[in-house]
Amino acid sequence: MDHFAYRDGVLHVEDVSVPAIAEAVGTPVYIYSAATLRRHAQVFREGLKDVSRKHLAYAIKANPNLAVLRVLADEGYGADVVSVGEMKRALAAGMPPADIVFSGVGKTRAELAAALDAGIGQFNLELEEEGVVLAALAAERGLTAPATLRVNPDVDAGTHAKISTGMKENKFGVPIDQAADMYARLSGLPGLNLRGIAIHIGSQLFDLAPLEAAYARVGDLVAELRASGHTVTHVDLGGGLGVPYRSGDMPPSPADYGAMVARVTKGWDVELMFEPGRVIAGNAGVLATEVIWVKPGVVHPYVIVDAAMNDLARVALYDAYHDFVAVEPTGERMIANIAGPVCESGDTFAMGRDIDAVASGDLAVLRTAGAYGATMASTYNSRPLVPEVLVDGDRYAVVADRVAAEALIAAERVPDWLAG
Ligand code: LLP
């Protein structure tokens, strides 16, 4: 459930109309609903009610806006971060360092050091050498770094190849059959408290079976480690739960997921950690856009909107589907292609789609854009960086400014010898 609904024929986000925001802020603009974020955070937690010891670390890569993080911090979420930049955001939003988990296949030595100095709660190691380096950096500081070893279970998560992470040819984790030996070697290092296992097999998952198979393999590994005398107190089960992008999509609910987790992890006797991203933020945001032209086409007309692939990259990158609805639908329909102004044929949001009829000047939204939307935006074609607005009841605020060409140009230099 979300808080985007029509009132008197006009799309509202909670109690604020989309035209009111478009008028004040301009388009394109991402609009998030705080009530939806809170609800998703609560539903995910509730789904895990049968897991007694758990830590929820929102994968902030999905939507790292400070205001979004603040809403989720207030819901008791920590953060899963993959760079020092994300760590700084989590801290700036008021998340306690101990609630932050540092994932990522290419943490630099400087990033490991910065995260140690910040006192973050856990490092998810991606290779043995990283553990050796982290242990040394921690020992130099008189610290002990809490860590898990991320394993690659070699399962096919059944999602888009670019967002699958748990197959043996993927760059993530260590092969699960080598994990016990590595765990043994790393466990002895001063400076490291290797306390468990981490896993994450992919994103936008619609099938619980591969997740369950992967978790079962982790269960076997935990038993094997304990049989060899190792301590295992934490298991990080990652994120990945899919969300509906179109009506009729039926991803597993957080309750289905939670029931599966409770069943598979029964008797593990560890603190379970979760890194949900999309399931929290995806349907809490839309990208509002204005129709610039309706251009006659040879097959179908092109609805040219003022949002483009630089604002929402998912369609160009993953052939993703985002629903397109008019803000003030007339009831008429049209079959059209929807495209942005960027000079690439890939800058197309849909081809031959049955949509609300729109004309130039009309407002529309691309739905389910709260996750992996604004955060993946760029300024390609020297387009301004898209702004973000958070709605909370009848209030709203611009929570990220539109960064216009002047600011981008101001950050560039022509060297003296060229300036002439
Ligand atoms: N934990 C780890 C270690 C991850 O790599 C990810 C996502 C998550 C958690 C959160 O996964 P989620 O619950 O959001 O599925 N840009 C792509 C998605 C990339 C996901 C990368 N890793 C997209 O727009 O579909």
Task: Please work out whether the CB of residue 314 comes within 6 Å of at least one atom of ligand 1.
Answer: yes
CA 91 to each of CA 58, 68, 96, 120: distance values in angstroms, whole numbers, following the listed order: 13, 13, 7, 10
Domains of the chain with CATH codes = 4-32+282-410 (2.40.37.10), 104-274 (3.20.20.10)
CA distance 155 to 216: 11
| Whole-number pLDDT of residue 163 | 80
| Atom 9 (ligand 1) nearest CA | 239
Proportion of the chain in helix, strand, coil states, percent, rounded to 5: 35, 25, 40
- Residue 187, pLDDT > 90, answer yes
| Whole-number pLDDT of residue 66 | 98
- Residue 127, pLDDT > 90, answer yes
**Nearest atom, ligand 1, residue 318 CA:** 25
368-382 residue pLDDT tens: 999 999 999 999 999
Active site residue 343: yes
| Whole-number pLDDT of residue 419 | 84
Task: Please work out whether the CB of residue 105 comes within 6 Å of at least one atom of ligand 1.
Answer: no
Query: For the chain, what is the radius of gyration of the CA atoms?
Result: 23
319-362 residue pLDDT tens: 999 999 999 999 999 999 999 999 999 999 999 999 999 999 99
ipTM over 0.90: yes
Task: Please work out whether the CB of residue 380 comes within 6 Å of at least one atom of ligand 1.
Answer: no
64-93 residue pLDDT tens: 999 999 999 999 999 999 999 999 999 999
Angle, alpha carbons 211-212-216 (nearest 5°): 120
Q: Coil, strand, or helix at residue 118?
A: helix
Residue 352 alpha carbon to ligand 1 centre in Å: 29
Q: Pick the catalytic residue: 343, 410, 414, 418?
A: 343
Is 46 part of any known ligand binding site?
no
* 30 — pLDDT class (breaks 50, 70, 90): very high
Is 277 part of any known ligand binding site?
yes
Task: Please work out whether the CB of residue 293 comes within 6 Å of at least one atom of ligand 1.
Answer: no
Task: Please work out whether the CB of residue 373 comes within 6 Å of at least one atom of ligand 1.
Answer: no
What is the percent of the chain where pLDDT is above 90? 95
Is 19 part of any known ligand binding site?
no
| Whole-number pLDDT of residue 213 | 96
Do 363 and 27 touch, CB atoms closer than 8 A? Answer: yes
Do 197 and 230 touch, CB atoms closer than 8 A? Answer: no
Is 240 part of any known ligand binding site?
yes
Pairing of strands 363-366, 285-295: antiparallel
Q: Mean pLDDT over residues 230-242, rounded?
A: 97
| Atom 5 (ligand 1) nearest CA | 200
